[in-house]
Structure 1
Amino acid sequence: MALLRARALYDFKSENPGEISLREHEVLSLCSDQEIEGWFEGVNSRGDRGLFPASYANVPPAGFEPLAAPATAFNPPAVQHQLPPPAAEPFQLPPPAASSGFSSFQAVPSYGGSSYQTSQGSDDDWDDDWDDSSTVADEPGVLGGSYPDYENAGLGSGGPGGSSSRYRLSTRSDLSISSRSSHPGSHLHHPGSGTGGPKSSATVSRNLNRFSTFVKSGGEAFVLGEASGFVKDGDKLCVVLGPYGPEWQENPYPFQCSIEDPTKQTKFKGMKSYIAYKLVPSHTGQQVHRRYKHFDWLYGRLVEKFPVISVPHLPEKQATGRFEEDFISKRRKGLAWWMDHMCSHPVLAQCDAFQHFLTCPSTDEKAWKQGKRKAEKDEMVGANFFLTISVPTGGPAALDLQEVESKVDGFKSFTKKMDESTIQLNQTVSEFARKQVTGFKKEYQKVGHSFKGLSQAFEMDQQAFSVGLNQAIAFTGEAYDAIGELFAEQPRQDLDPVMDLLALYQGHLANFPDIIHVQKGALTKVKESKRHVEEGKMEVQKADGIQDRCNIISFATLAEIHHFHKIRVRDFKSQMQHFLQQQILFFQKVTQKLEEALHKYDNV
C-alpha cells in the first residue's frame, strides 16, 4: 500500500472531536492528498486518526511519488478500528478553532476565542437563574424579539427615523478552496468584480497562521471579499471626519448610568448568596439589578462582536472574600469606571446587547432570556461586523495608506510607553499607599507616644506654673496620633482612585495590540494585491476592492484611536485634579492639627 508522508512543523494540541495532536518533527501518514478547507486528514505516530491544520505540517508537493509502506514500519489494519464505518455520515469539520472563518463561510469566526473566555470559578457562577436551557427565545417567531422601543422615543441606535426592520444576512463567496497542487492562496472572486482572465490568475494569499487575530476576528475574510449581506440602518456604525481625523459619530442621545447600593441577596432558601448592584440609566430612570455574572456575560458578547473596538475590562474576580465590605466597595468603584467608559463610547453605548442589559426589568426572566438569546445569535459578528461600518468616501476622505500606517505605528509606540509608565506608576502608588496605611501611621503615632511620655515626666515637677506646658506637650502627642490616623485613611481618598483608573487603562492598552494586528493584516493584503497588479497578474478592479475594504478597517481603527485619546485626556485631567484637591485637603487637615497644638503654648 502506497502512503503519502508528511512531517509536523509544530506542536498541535487537539481541542475538538475529530482532531489529532501533533508533535514537532513527527512523521504523519496522510489519508488523502486533498486539503479540506485548511485541514488534512491523517494518522499520527501513535495511531490516532483525524484532522490537523495543513499549515502545521510539511506536505510533499503535488506529483510527489508516495513512499511504499514498509512491512514493519506501519500496519494500516492496526488502526482500522478508528476509521468510521462505511455507512457513517461524511466527516464533519470541527468548530473552527484553528481555521476560523474557513468552513465554507457559513459560520462566522469568533473573535473572543483568543482574548476572552467565560470566567470559571466560584465567583457568581452561572446557574439556572435567568439562564436555563429551555427558553422561549428559541421558539419560532421569537428570535427576533425586540428590545424596548427606544427608536420611536428618539433613543435608539439608529436615531430619528432609524429603521427597525429586520435585515437579511446573505453571506456569499466565489472563493474556491484549491487543492495542494494549486496556489496556496485560495482563488477569490469578489462579488461584482470582473470576469477572471489571464490577467487575474494571481490571488491574495491567506495567512498561514489561522490562529492570528486578523483571521479569527473575520478581518481577513472581509478584506478578501467573502462577506456580503444587508444591514439595516439602525445597525450602521458611522465614521465621520472630525477636526483631528476619523472619529465615531457621536451618540445623538447620550446618557449615563449610576451603580449604587450593592446588596447581598440569597436564593434557594439561603443556600446560595450573591451581590446585586443597582443600576439607574439616566435615559430611562428605571432601576434594574444586575449581578457580576451579568456584567461578565455582556463583556463576552461585546468582545466577540467588536474586534476593532476596545471594550473596557471588568474588575477582576476573587474566589474568596467576595462578601467583605472592602472588596464589595472596590468592585463597585471598578464597575462604575467600566460603566462610564461604556456609556461614553458612541458605538458600545448604542449596542442592542448593552441596551438590553440596562433596560430589561430584573424580575422579567422571560424578557431577559429572549434578549440574551437574540444577542448570542447575532449574525453581524466576525467578517459581517465590518459590513456595518459606514465611512466617508471620495475627495478629502480618501486615506493615504502610508500615512495611516505611520499613525498606527506611532500609536503602537505610544501604547507601549504608556503601558510601561502606568505599570511603574501603579507600583509606586501602591507602595506609597501601603506605607501611609502602615509605616507612616506607625511612625507618627510613635512620635506622639514619645511626646506623651515627656509630658508625664514633667508632671512629676509638681510646680503650678508648669501645668500649662505639660498639657500643651500632651496635646501635641495627641495631635501626632491623629495625624497618623489621617495618613492611614488618606489613600482611600486620593491614591486608590488613581490605581482604579490605571487598572482600567491597563485593560485598554492590553486590547490594542489585537486591534492594531487586524489593521496591519489588512494593509498587508493591500500591498500584496498592488504587487500583483504591477506584475500584471491581477485586475485593478479586484485590487481596488481589497483596498476599499482595508480603508473601512483603517477608518474604524483610527476612529477608535481618536476616541481612546479623547477619553484618556478627559479621565486623567479629572483624576489628577481630584488627586491634587484631596492632597490639599489632607495637608490642610494636618496643618490644622499642628496649629491647634501650637496655640496650646500661647498661655504657658
Structure 2
Amino acid sequence: MALQARVLYDFEGDIENGELTISEGDTITVINQDIGDGWWEGELSNGQRGLFPEAYVEMLSGGGGGGGGDVPYNGDQSYGDQSYGDQAAGGYGNQSGYVDNTGEWDDTPNSYYQQDNQPPPFNRDDSFRTERSDSTAGTSTEQLSRHATVKKNMNRFSPFVKVGAESFLLGTAAKKAPRIAEAEKIRIVYGPENEPMWEPHPNPYHIEVRDPEKKSKFKGIKTFTAYSIVPSDTGNPVSRRYKQYDWLHDRLTEKFTACTIPPLPDKQYYGRYGEEFVSKRKEKLEGWSNRVARHPVMSRSFVFRHFLTCQEDQEWKAGKRKAEKDEFCAAQMLLTVDHRDVRTDLNTATEKVEHFGKFVVQMDDTCNKMFQKFDDHCNKMSGPIMREWHRMSAVVTGLGQCFHMEDAPYARGLTEAINTTGSTYEEIGNMHGEQPRHDMIPMMDGLKEYLGMIHELPDFVQINRGAQGKVRESERLKDDGRLDMVEASEIQSRTETIATTLLAEIYHFQHERVADYRKMFQNMLTSQITFYSKIVSKLQDTLDKFDVGQDYGGGAVSNHGYDTRQPYDSSVPGTDL
C-alpha cells in the first residue's frame, strides 16, 4: 500500500530541478524515501511527480518518518527520531531543526520551535555542502563567512550528478578512490582532426558468435541457450548465455558512466528456443559484442576481457566478484582519465557539446521517422503490393486459360507466353513479400540499435553545463576571497578532464556513426539493385517468350486474310500493335 502524507507548509519547488510545488493541506503519495539529504520523492493527485522536503509533511496513518509538526522538541538536539546536531556541514540538517554555521541551535525569537505554523527554515544556499565543510565544524562564524565551498547540485536526478561528474569535480570521489595503477589509466590523445579521442587499441580484434546450443541444468529443470564466443586475438571459444551478457551490460553501464553503452537485444520469454529466434539473437549478440570491442576503452577493460577469455567456472566466479567490486566505477572512472598531452579550451568544448546535443535530438527524431516509414513500406511490400502482383497474375493467367480453349497450333506459342507472364507476376509478387528481409529490415535493425544508443547516451549537454556552472561558482567565490586559488584551480582542472572525456566519447560516437550508416545504406541499396535487376531479368525472359512460334506455318499468314504484322520492338517506331 502506497504511503500517504499530509503537507504541513507551502513549498514552492524549482521545476527545472525536479521539485514539486506543494500547498498546506495537500495529500501526497510518497514514492521514495531514500533520496537522501532531507528529500523525498512523491506524486500529487494530479499526477505530478517530484522532490519535496521531508520536513514539510507528516505521514498519515501507517506511515513512518517525516517531519510532522506534532513531534515535540526533546531538548537533546533531536527532532522526532532524527538527530540533527551533527549536520551543520552536510545535507539538509537545517530543514527539520535549524542549525547555524557553528553547529549550535538557533536561539533567536524566530526559531522554528517558538512559532506556530511556521515551516522549518529552508535555504538552498546551505544545502548539499561538500565534505570539506566537515572540517569547519567548531570554527568561528567569522572564519566560516570568509571561506566557502562549492555546493552540490540541487537536482539529485540530473545527469551531472548521476554519472558521478559532480562527485569527481568537487573532489569527493578522489577521497574514496585507491591509488591508481598504470594499467588502470585511460588515455586521451589528439586524433587526425586535432580533436581529443580515446587512445586507439594497439591490437584491435573482432568477435564471432556461433554454434548456439540448447543446454540444461538442475537435471533438466532449467534450460537455456549457450553461444560460443570466439575473439580473434585468442581464437579460443568460451560458452556464454544471454544472462551473462546481461550481467556484462550492467557492469559496463556502472563502470563507464560517461560512455555510450549499446543496448542489448530485447529479452524474449516465449519462443526463445525457436530456430529463427536463436539465429537472429546470435546475429545481434555478435553485433553488440563487436561494437563494445571497437570501443578503445571498454575493449581493454578487465570485465570485458574476463567475459571473452575466462574458461573455468571457478575462475569465472572469482573474476565476476572482482568486477563487481571494481573501485573505479562512475565518478572514480574519471579519476583514471589521463589527458596530459591534450589541452581543452572550456568555451570551445561547450560549443561542441551543445552542438552535439542538438544533433542527437535531431538524429533521434529523423531516425524515428525513418524507422516508421520503412516499417510502413515493409508492411506494404508484404501486403498490398504483393497482393496486387498476385491479382495481376490471376487475371493474366485467366486470359491464358481462355486462349487455351482454342488450341490451334499457331496460337499455342502466344497462350504459353501469356501463361508465363502470369507465373512471372506471381513470382514478382512473392519477391516483393520477401524483399524487406534483405533491405529494409536490416536497415531498421541498425536504426533501432542507434535509437537505443541515443536513449542510453548520457546527457552530455547537462553534464557539461553542470561542470561549467561549478567553475563559474568557484570563480565567484575566489573573487570574493572565500575560496582559495588552489581549490579553484583544482575545480578548473577537473572540469577540463570532464570536457575532454565528453569530447573523446563524442569523437568515437560520430566516427562509429559514419562507418555504420555508410555500410547500412550500401547494403540496402545493393540489395535493392539486385532485387530490381532480378525483376528486369524475369520480365525480359518473359518478353522473349512472345517471339516463339510467331512465324508458324512459314512466314506471315496474310494469305489467309489476316494482316501481316511485325513483332513488337520498342526501339523501332511504328511497331506498336
Report the TM range for the smaller structure's normalisation: 0.7 to 0.9
Q: Does 1:65 align with 2:10?
A: no
* Residue 224 (structure 1) aligned with residue 170 (structure 2): yes
Q: Which is further off, 336-345 or 54-63?
A: 54-63
Instruction: Select the residue among 390, 395, 401 that pairs with 1:445.
Output: 390
1:520 maps to which of 465, 468, 479: 465
CA contact (8 A) 2:386 2:433 kept: yes
Distance 1:428 1:512 in 2: 24
Is residue 309 from structure 1 mapped to residue 254 from structure 2 by the alignment? Answer: no
Is 1:602 equivalent to 2:547 in the alignment? yes
Corresponding position of 1:260: 210
Following the alignment from structure 1 to structure 2, what is the Cα–Cα distance between the partners of residues 405 and 501?
30
What does residue 204 of structure 1 align with? Answer: 150
Q: Give the whole-Å Cα distance in 2 for the aligned partners of 1:347 and 1:451.
A: 62
SS at match of 1:566: helix
Q: Report the secondary structure of 1:430's partner residue.
A: helix
Q: Tell me which of 328, 332, 338 is aligned to 2:278.
A: 328
Alignment of 1:374-413 (within 5 A): 374-393=322-341, 397-413=342-358
SS in 2 for 1:468: helix
Judging changes above 3 Å, is the alpha-carbon distance between structure 1 residues 473 and 181 closer, same or farther for their aligned structure 2 residues? closer
What letter is aligned with 1:401?
Answer: L
1:269-280 matches, cutoff 5 A: 269-280=219-230
In structure 2, distance between residues paired with 1:353 and 1:429: 37
Q: How does 1:340-351 map to 2 (within 5 A)?
A: 340-351=290-301
Aligned equivalent of 1:543 = 488
Q: How does 1:420-569 map to 2 (within 5 A)?
A: 420-569=365-514
What one-letter code is carried by the residue in structure 2 that aligns with 1:596?
A: D
1:335 and 1:47 map into 2 onto residues whose CA distance is 48
SS of residue matched to 1:436:
helix
Corresponding residue for 2:32?
14
Q: Which moved more, 1:576-585 or 1:433-442?
A: 433-442
* Alpha-carbon displacement from aligned partner over 1:466-517 (angstroms, at most 9, x marks no partner): 0111111111111111111211221111111111111111122113343443
Q: SS at 1:507's partner residue?
A: helix
Query: 1:227-250 CA distances to partner (integer Å, 9 max, x unpaired)?
Result: 334111111100112233100000
Paired residue type of 2:171: G
The answer for the alignment partner of 1:234 in structure 2 is: 183
Query: Partner residue of 1:78?
Result: none
AA in 2 matched with 1:563: H
User: Which runs of no fewer than 5 residues in structure 1 stay unpaired?
Assistant: 27-37, 74-178
Aligned twin of 1:101: none
| Root-mean-square deviation (Å) | 3.3
2:308 to 358, 369, 372: 358
Are the aligned partners of 1:22 and 1:44 in contact in 2 as well (CA < 8 Å)? no
The separation in 2 between residues aligned to 1:545 and 1:435, in whole angstroms, is: 60
In the superposition, the TM-score normalised over structure 2's length comes to 0.75
Distance 1:387 1:23, change over 3 A: closer
Rounded to whole Å, the distance in 2 between the matches of 1:545 and 1:17 is 29
Deviation at 1:199, TM superposition (A): 9.1
1:373 equivalent in structure 2 = 321
CA contact (8 A) 1:262 1:276 kept: yes
| Mapped partners of 2:509, 2:395: distance in 1 | 52
Structure 2 counterpart of 1:281:
231
Distance 1:511 1:460, change over 3 A: same
Cα 1:187–1:254 change in 2 (3 A) is closer
Residue type matched to 1:522 in 2? Answer: A
Which secondary structure state, in structure 1, belongs to the residue aligned with residue 457 of structure 2? helix
CA distance in 2: counterparts of 1:249 and 1:589, whole angstroms: 46
2:366 & 2:33 partners in 1: Cα distance?
Answer: 38
Q: Alpha-carbon deviation of 1:518?
A: 2.5
Cα distance between partner residues in 1 of 2:290 and 2:489: 40
Q: For structure 1, which segment, 14-23 or 538-547, has the greater mean C-alpha deviation from structure 2 after superposition?
A: 14-23
**Partners of 2:34 and 2:40 within 8 A in 1:** no
Residue 186 (structure 1) aligned to one of 129, 140, 154? 129
Residue number in structure 2 paired with 1:95: none
- The question of whether the paired residues in 2 share the 8 Å contact of 1:61 and 1:180 is answered with no
2:71 alignment counterpart = none
On the 8 A contact 2:160/2:462 being kept in 1, the answer is yes
CA-CA distance at 1:54 after TM superposition:
6.5
CA deviation after TM superposition for structure 1 residue 575, in Å: 1.4
Give the Cα–Cα distance (whole angstroms) in 1 for the partners of residues 520 and 124 of structure 2. 61
Question: SS of the residue aligned with 1:275?
Answer: strand
Cα distance change on mapping 1:290 and 1:401 into 2, 3 Å: same
CA distance in 1, matches of 2:220, 2:150: 60
* Distance in 2 separating the partners of 1:386 and 1:554: 11
Query: For residues 200 and 477 of structure 1, do their structure 2 counterparts lie closer, same or farther at Cα, with a shift above 3 Å needed?
Result: farther
Once the two structures are superposed, residues 62-92 of structure 1 have per-residue CA deviations (whole angstroms, 9 ceiling, x without a partner) of 534234799xx9xxxxxxxxxxxxxxxxxxx
Given the superposition, is the C-alpha separation of residues 440 and 55 from structure 1 closer, same or farther in structure 2, using an over 3 Å criterion?
A: farther
Give the TM-score taking structure 1 as reference length.
0.72
**Tell me, what secondary structure is at the counterpart of 1:14?**
strand
Query: Given that residues 312 and 504 in structure 1 are in contact (C-alpha distance below 8 angstroms), is that contact kept between their aligned partners in structure 2?
Result: yes
User: Which deviates more from structure 2 when the two are superposed, residues 328-337 or residues 420-429?
Assistant: 328-337
Deviation string, structure 1 residues 2-59 (Cα, Å, up to 9, x no partner): xxx8667646423669999676799xxxxxxxxxxx9879963447443789669965
Q: Determine whether 1:573 maps to 2:522.
A: no
> Which has the greater radius of gyration?
2
Q: Return the alpha-carbon distance in structure 2 between the equivalents of residues 529 and 518 of structure 1.
A: 17
**Retained in 2: the 8 A contact 1:278–1:289?**
yes
The equivalent residue for 1:50 is: 65
